[in-house]
Chains A and B, each alone.
Chain A
Amino acid sequence: MSDTVSQSADKVLDHFTLFRQPEYKEMFERKKAEFEYGHSDEEVARVSEWTKSEEYKEKNFAREAVVINPTKACQPIGAMFAAQGFEGTLPFVHGSQGCVAYYRTHLTRHFKEPNSAVSSSMTEDAAVFGGLNNMIDGLANAYELYKPKMIAVLTTCMAEVIGDDLQGFIANAKGKDSVPQDFPVPFAHTPAFVGSHIVGYDNMIKGVLTHFWGTSENYDTPKNASINLIPGFDGYAVGNNRELKRIAGLFGIDMTILSDVSDNFDTPMDGEYRMYDGGTTLEATKEAVHAKATISMQEYCTPQSLQFIKEKGQDVAKFNYPMGVAATDELLLKLSELSGKPVPAELKLERGRLVDAIGDSHTHLHGKRFAVYGDPDFCLGMSKFLLELGAEPVHILSTSGSKKWEKQVQKLLDSSPFGKSGKAYGGKDLWHLRSLIFTDKVDYIIGNSYGKYLERDTKVPLIRLTYPIFDRHHHHRYPTWGYQGALNVLVRILDRIFEDIDANTNIVGQTDYSFDLIR
C-alpha cells in the first residue's frame, strides 16, 4: 500500500481507526467485490435474522455432534491450577508441549501474572514407543533447571491415549535418579476427553493428598482443631482466598486452604522474580490429614477429593460457590459449628452492612431477568444470590452441568417465586444460550469474557463475574465470597445496570431528558 496517506509518524493510528480510513475501506470493498464471491448483503442479513428465530432455536437444540463456544476448559488446566496452589510446586505435564502453553497463557490472560509449568514434550516417537524416556529426562531437567520443592505430574490426552502409567513411570524415573527418592512427585491422570477443568482440579487435589496422606482408609486418624478448606477452580481466587483467610482469622480458626493460589497469581513488583510464591506449605498439606473437617467451596470441583478425605475420618461439608447473604450465613454457621466458635462481631456488622446496601439498591434489581452461565457451582451460587436480590435467573447454563446439577438448580429455582421463569441447561453451550436469549429475552447476561460476543449479537449487557475474564483487568483481586465479596458482586451488577441506563439515555436532544445525575 504505497499510497497510504492516513498513517503518519506524528500521529500514529492504531487498528481501531487506521482501517477505517478511506484507502483501507476501499481496499476491503474491492476485495469483497472482486475476490470473495460472498452472498449478497441482503442474504446475509436474512440468514442472520433467521438465526434469531424460534425455528432456528429448535434446530440448534437438536444439535447432536458439534459443540459451539463451550463454557468449559479441559482437565489438565484445572489440575495445573490446583497444583500451583502448593508451595514451590512445578506442574509437570506429561504429554505434548503445545497443550501446556495453552494452559499457561489462558491463566495468564486472566490473572495478568506469569505462571510456571513444564511439559515432557512428547513427540511422534514417544507416541509410538511410550513416553517413559520423556518422563525420566523431563523430571531430571525440571528438577535441575527450576529447583521446585514439589513436582506435580499431570497428563495431556496424548499420554492418556497411549496409556502411559504415571505411577510406574515416576517410580522408574526416581529409580534412574531423575529426582531424589524422597522428593514429592504427586500425580493425577487428567485426560481432556473426560469431564472438564473442574474434574481435573478434583483429580489433582486428590493426587496431592494421596501422596502425603497415603491411599489407605483410616477412619481413626488422630484429629486436632484445625479445619481444611478447598476453594475449587475459581477465577477470583486471589481475592477470595485472602478473604477466606481473613474470615478464619476473625473466627480464630486454624484453617488450611488446600491449594491456595492467591500469592502465586498475585506476586508483587519489587524487583524480585518469584517463580513460585506462597501456596499451601507442604508441611501444612501433610498435617492437614489431622484436621477435624474439610470444607469444599465448590461441590462439583471436589467429589472424589471429599470422598477420599472422608475416608480419613474427617467431617466434610460442601458448598456451591456461596455468594450473597444466606449463602454466606450458611458458610459462617458451618465454620462456627465445626470450630465451636461464635460468629465474630465484625462479620455480623459486615452482614448488616451488606443487607443495608441491598436494601438501598434493590429497586434497580427487582424483577430484572438474567442469563447466567459458567461452572456448575458458580451458576448455583450466582442464581441463589440473584433470587435473594429479587432478580430472576432465567437461563442457567453450564457446559459442565450434569442431570444431577440441573435438578439441583431446579430445586433452587423452586424455592423462590423469582425462580419461576428459570430453567437449567446442563451440557449446553453458548450457541444454545444465544438462541435462548433471542427467543426469550433477558435484561442482563452474567458470565465471562466469552459472553461479549453474545452481548454484541443480542445487545443484552454482559456482566463479567466468572473465569475467564480476559478483557477487563484485576477483577480477580476483589473477593466474591463473604459479605464483602457479595457487596463487590452487587456493586458490579449495579454498575452495569446504571451504565446501561446511561447508555440508553444519552442521545443529545432525543433521550437525554432521562440522562440523570442521580440514579
Chain B
Amino acid sequence: MSTLAIRKTEPAAGTTPGTAQGPPLRRRIALIPTVTLLLGALYCLLPVAWVVIASTKSGNELFSTFTFLPGTGFAENLSDLNAYRDGVYWQWMGNSALYAILGALLSTVVSSFAGYALATYRFRGRETMFNVLLAGVLMPPVILAIPQYLLLAKADLTDSYWSVLLPQILSPYGVYLSRIYAAAAVPADVVEAGRMDGASEWRIFTRIALPMMVPGLVTVFLFQFVAIWNNFLLPYIMLSDDEKFPITLGLHTLLEQGANTPALYTLVITGAFLAVIPLVALFLVIQRFWSLDLLSGAVKS
C-alpha cells in the first residue's frame, strides 16, 4: 500500500473529522432492496410461524380458530405423538439423526479426500473427473433414486439402514465444494514446504491441509446433513419397514392413511415442528465456525 494514499485521505491537523468537511454522509436506506429482503424474510418465516402456532392447537381448534392465534393443545399433542404406536415417532427421529449425522460425516470425509486430491495433485484425467463431478452436481438426486434401488436390490441391501446411507455418502456437490475450497485455502507452497520437511502425504493432509479446510468442510457437512434430513424419495423407495423410516417418511404415513381414515393433522404438525428443532439448533451451533476468517492462511503475500 502506498503511504501517499493514506496521507491524502487524512484530515488536516487540528480538525476533527466530519466537521471541517461537512457532516458525514448519512447512510441512505436503500428502500427497494430492504423491502424486497423483508418480503423474502416474511415469505420464509410465515410458514415456520404457522407450524409453531398450529402445533399448539388441539384438533378442535386447528381449523376453527384464527390462524395465528395460539391454541391450548400443545401438551396434549405432544403426549398423543408420544403415545402413537408406542412412540414410533421417536424411533423415526432417531433414524433421521442416524442417517443425517453418520451420512453427513462420511460424506464430509469422502468429500475432503476427493476435493483435496483434485485440488492438489496433477494427474491424468483430473479435469475429466472433475467435469463428470460437475455433471453430477447438475443431476437432481431424485432421478437417481430408482436406479439406485435396482442396484442395491441386486446386492440384497434394500430395506436396510445401508440402503439409505450408502447412496448419500458420495455427494458431487460436496466434492466440488471441497475442491474449490481446498484450492483457495491450502496454498501449494504450504504443501511443498511440508514435503521439504519430509512429511508424508497423509501427514500433510491430516495435519496441515485438513485444519485449513475446516470452514469449508463444515459447510459440506451442513449441506449434507440438511439434504439427508429432508430427503424423501430415496428412503421412500428403499425402505418398506417403517421401523427404519426417517422422520419425513413417517410423517407422510401419518398423513396418507387411506380415504376412510382422517389424516392425523395435529400429530403431523406437532411432529413437523419437533423435526425442525434439530436443524435450527445445528445451524445455531455450527454458525460460529463460519466466522473463522476464510483466508487465515499460513502464507503472506
Physical interaction between A and B: no
Which A positions have Cβ atoms within 8 angstroms of B? none
Interfacial residues, chain B to chain A (CB-CB below 8 A): none
